[in-house]
Amino acid sequence: MKIFEENGWFGLTNDDDVVVLSAEFYKSFVEEIKDFSCQELLKIKLIDIRYGLWPNGMYVFYDVNNKRGLKKHNGEIVLECKYDYIYDIQSNGLIVVVVNNKFGIVNEKGEFIVECKYDWIKDFQSNGLATIELNNKYGFIDVKGKVVVECKYNSIFGFQPNGLTIVKLNNKEGLINKKGEVVADCIYDWIEGFQSNGLAPAKLNNEWGFVNEKGEWVEK
Residue 158, pLDDT score? 87
pLDDT at 202 (0 to 100): 96
Contacts of 14 (CB under 8 A, 6+ apart): 1, 2, 20
Side-by-side strand order, sheet with 59-62: 59-62, 68-71, 77-83
Model pTM score: 0.86
Long-range contacts from 57-64, C-beta under 8 angstroms, 24+ separation: 57/25, 57/26, 57/29, 57/32, 57/33, 58/89, 58/108, 60/86
For position 38, what pLDDT does the model report?
A: 85
Q: What is the mean pLDDT of each run of 10 residues along the chain (220 residues)?
A: 95 92 94 92 89 94 94 94 96 96 96 97 95 97 97 94 96 96 97 94 94 91
Q: Could you say which DSSP state residue 76 is in?
A: -
Domain ranges of the chain: 1-57, 61-152, 154-220
Q: Does domain 61-152 have CATH number 2.20.25?
A: yes
- Give the pLDDT confidence score for residue 186 in this predicted structure: 97
Give the pLDDT confidence score for residue 122 in this predicted structure: 95
